[in-house]
């Protein structure tokens, strides 16, 4: 059985939720913060990051969007296929969220790697939050335009990563109150039984 490696607070929650939604035969192994840099895990994923999906033959797949694509192809039910309109839009949305939006958080989580002086770090943070405001406005608008329930109008894996991003906003000076559609989406996700199982497996709590 494949094993998904996760860690509290990380984007590995996204494929964790997808596994719960699909009831896919994948074991979820949650590691403690810091263990991703230890030899045992680096032997699995030399990047020292989660998520990582290890198969029975020893092959390892990394990156949330790639793991979600495999889950959809291997275990997805109707609506998850990339040959449908929803599937195509899901791939597009995930590419945007996992590359542009996630990458923008580098200026928040890893400011010290981007600037040396305190003044420079503050400038990095300011520009980071300006960028994130634009992203959250865009995602709030897309969600609203698509009916407000699911990001693409129907439930998809895009909702799993969007949920991660609506949690991360709490780590910044930004407020979810400025994005009512995203706030409602987060509440809806936290009422979902699959999301509850994924949170428990990852030693995380709903934000509520």
In this structure, are 70 and 144 located in the same domain? no
For position 11, which CATH number holds?
3.40.30.10
SS3 6: strand
Integer Cα distance of 169 and 178 in angstroms: 11
At residue 111, the pLDDT reads 64
User: Which of these three, 78, 103, 120, is where a domain ends?
Assistant: 78
Query: What pTM did the predictor assign?
Result: 0.93
Domain match, 48 and 63 both: yes
At residue 126, the pLDDT reads: 87
Q: How confident is the model at residue 164 (pLDDT cuts 50, 70, 90)?
A: very high
CATH number of the domain encompassing residue 187: 1.20.1050.10
* Structure tokens that stand for 44 in this block: 């699995």
Q: What is the CA radius of gyration of the chain?
A: 17
Of the listed ranges 33-47, 57-71, 116-130, the one predicted with least confidence:
116-130
The structure tokens listed for 19 are 């596994």
Dig out the tokens for 64 from the structure.
């949330």
43, 35 in Cβ contact below 8 A? no
**In a shared domain, residues 53 and 95:** no
Range of the domain at 132: 85-192
The 3-state DSSP composition of the chain as helix, strand, coil percent (nearest 5) reads: 60, 5, 35
Q: In this model, does residue 137 exceed pLDDT 80?
A: yes
Asked whether residue 93 is domain-assigned, the answer is yes
Residue 40, pLDDT score = 95
């Amino acid at each position: 059985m494949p094993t998904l490696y996760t860690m509290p607070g990380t984007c590995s929650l996204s494929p964790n939720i997808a596994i719960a939604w699909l009831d896919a035969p994948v074991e979820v192994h949650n590691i403690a913060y810091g263990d991703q840099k230890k030899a045992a895990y680096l032997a699995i994923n030399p990047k020292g990051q989660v998520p990582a999906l290890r198969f029975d033959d020893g092959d390892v797949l990394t990156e949330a969007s790639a793991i979600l694509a495999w889950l959809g192809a291997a275990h997805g039910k109707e609506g998850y296929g990339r040959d449908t309109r929803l599937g195509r839009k899901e791939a597009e949305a995930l590419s945007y969220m996992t590359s542009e939006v996630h990458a923008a958080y580098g200026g928040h989580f890893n400011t010290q790697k981007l600037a040396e002086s305190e003044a420079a770090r503050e400038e990095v943070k300011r520009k980071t939050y300006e960028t994130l405001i634009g992203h959250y406005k865009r995602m709030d608008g897309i969600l609203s335009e698509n009916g407000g329930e699911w990001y693409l109008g129907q439930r998809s894996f895009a909702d799993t990563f969007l949920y991660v991003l609506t949690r991360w906003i709490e780590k910044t000076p930004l407020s979810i109150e400025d994005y009512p559609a995203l706030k409602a989406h987060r509440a809806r996700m936290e009422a979902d039984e699959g999301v509850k199982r994924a949170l428990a497996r990852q030693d995380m709590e709903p934000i509520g």
